[in-house]
Structure 1
Amino acid sequence: MEKQAKCVVVTGFGPFGEHAVNASWVAVQELEKLGLGDRVDLHVYEVPVEYQTVQRLIPDLWIKHRPQFIIHVGVSGMASSITLEKCGHNKGYLRLDNSQFCPDTQCCVEGGPECLQSFIDMDVVCKRASSAGLDVQFTVSTDAGRYLCDFTYYRSLYESHGKSVFIHVPPLGKPYTAAQLGRALQTILQVILDMLEQSEDQINCDHNH
């Protein structure tokens, strides 16, 4: 029996601050060109760097696509490798966004837990992606930065009960090209899909015994 194509949503961010070209959106567009084969129905979105838009858009994406999971990609001026974020944080949002707005409460979801973790084991993803033989470095982090990246990740984790992943990429050329970033995202997605298939097979196997 052929497995049905899985729906996956991938987002990147639009320009902000000194990032006139946002490496995250460039990387996502490269991923879209590369594709993920027949097994994935891939949808990509560019997200404006605005708290209020994120609050509205993330729940909409979950309702519209009902994806297996969503991967959010953001740029970090401090990153020099592909960084897999383990968790999103609810509080501490003080920086103004592109529309000079900041949540009054400095918080993402009123009454939500302080920290939410992804359902995917990022340490395993990092290890498997690193062994794929790409000319890029992968690392793991527990601090997505308390700006729109962290805010988006938390909102998505909250909405999806953990079925979200956040990846930080360095700015273009520091050190990686757009093509390298696209391939890195493709590899991470393939690793995650393989992990999910393995756990599904395990569940089916357990049911059959």
Structure 2
Amino acid sequence: MSPKNTFNVAVTGNPPFMEYDFNTSQLVRDALPDVIQRPEKKDIRILKYARDTRDTYEDVRRVSKDIWGGQRTMFSRMPGLEEKEGHVDVDLILHLGMVALGWRTDMFRFETMARRDGYKLPGDDGQFVNSDYLQKLGLPTSLETSFDVEAGWRKVKEKFPDTPSCVSDDAGLYFCEFRLYSSLAEPLLTPSFREKSGRVVFEHLPQDHSTEGIALARDITVTFVAGLVDARLAKEDEMSTV
């Protein structure tokens, strides 16, 4: 499959954390199809980041660099990713996380932005995020995705009207939010990644890790991603004709 005919979406999932012995983000990532085939539309290739991330602020930034770097070895092997294809041009990063911190456990939350400051919980290594350092790098207090999260969510609501879901501007000020911030920040810090600015979204998944729950989350994620891509491609087509 030629990369020119696909929209490449890198997806991350995380291992169990806090008091949980499961993490639906990991399970849903692994359940996603390798390719979302769409008749008469550009196929969406799902690139599953092969390494389970650690809950340390240093590791979070490593993930951003790995994915934007695009080395094929960073992603799980899949039929659509040929061995000779040493580099993958990632069009979008989708970070998956599981709801916690007292939020509704049955809610799908589609995040739109992330903050630089206010992270009060340490990582697994006991270290805190160094907001002063991020400020010295010239990074803004908040960063937003350039993708139309609302459009993706509307597709979810149309197809799954009875499933609780929302668009959110509060990703929780823990590792989920910092993952989003870090991936949005990396193109601002690395000139070779500059064209990737804004190409990151975050989806919080419910805690239901039954077979049925993971299947539902997989289908909702596919619908959300397709909605995001359609809105983005429509916008790019519109801009190209101006």
After TM superposition, the score normalised by the length of structure 1 is 0.87
CA contact (8 A) 2:32 2:46 kept: no
Hey, what does 1:24 align to over in structure 2?
Answer: 25
1:157 aligns with 2:163: no
Task: In structure 2, give the amino acid aligned to 1:36.
Answer: I
Please show how residues 129-208 of structure 1 align to structure 2 within 5 Å.
129-133=156-160, 136-159=163-186, 160-173=196-209, 177-206=213-242
Conserved in 1, the CA contact under 8 Å of 2:148 and 2:232?
no
One-letter amino acid matched to 1:120: F
The range that moved more, 81-90 or 159-168, is: 159-168
The CA distance in 1 between the partners of 2:99 and 2:13, in whole Å, is 12
Preserved CA contact (<8 Å) 2:98 2:206: yes
Q: Distance in 2 between matches of 1:201 and 1:63?
A: 26
Q: Is the 8 A contact 1:134 1:184 kept in 2?
A: no
Gaps of 5+ in 2: 71-87, 187-195
- TM-score between both structures, scaled by the size of structure 2: 0.76
Whole-angstrom CA distance in 1 between matches of 2:90 and 2:151? 22
Number of equivalent positions: 203
| Counterpart position of 2:189 | none
* Contact 2:153–2:227 (Cα < 8 Å) also in 1: no
The DSSP-based 3-state class of the residue aligned with 1:177 is helix
Hey, what's the Cα distance between the residues in 1 that align with 2:163 and 2:132?
35
Inter-CA distance 70–151: structure 2 relative to 1 (3 Å threshold) = same
CA contact (8 A) 1:136 1:184 kept: no
Q: Name 2:44's counterpart in structure 1.
A: 40
Q: Is 1:89 aligned to 2:115, yes or no?
A: yes
Structure 1 unaligned blocks of 5 or more: none
Residues of 2 paired with 1:86 and 1:103: CA distance?
21
- SS of 1:188's equivalent in the other structure is helix
Looking at structure 1, the residues matched to 206 and 133 of structure 2 have their Cα atoms a distance apart, in angstroms, of 26
Aligned in 2, Cα 1:104/1:124: closer, same or farther, shift over 3 Å? closer
- Whether the 8 Å CA contact 2:107–2:206 is kept in 1: the answer is yes
Describe the SS at the equivalent of 2:13.
strand
Whole-angstrom distance in 2 between the partners of 1:62 and 1:161: 10
Greater Cα offset, 127-136 or 76-85: 127-136
Moved over 6 A (4+): none
CA distance in 2, matches of 1:22, 1:173: 8
Contact 1:82/1:168 (<8 A) preserved: yes
Whether 1:60 and 2:60 are equivalent positions in the alignment is no
Separation (CA, whole Å) in 1 of partners of 2:132 and 2:10: 27
How far residue 66 of structure 1 moved from its aligned partner, in angstroms, is: 3.1
**Equivalent residues of 1:93, 1:107 under 8 A apart:** no
Task: Decide whether the 8 Å contact of 2:151 with 2:227 is kept in 1.
Answer: no
Contact 1:58–1:156 (8 Å) recurs in 2: yes
Amino acid corresponding to residue 20 of structure 2 in structure 1: H
Partner of 1:98: 124
Identify the residue that residue 82 of structure 2 maps to in structure 1: none
- Contact 2:116 2:131 (C-alpha < 8 Å) held by counterparts: no
Asked if 2 retains the 8 angstrom alpha-carbon contact of 1:86 and 1:122, the reply is yes
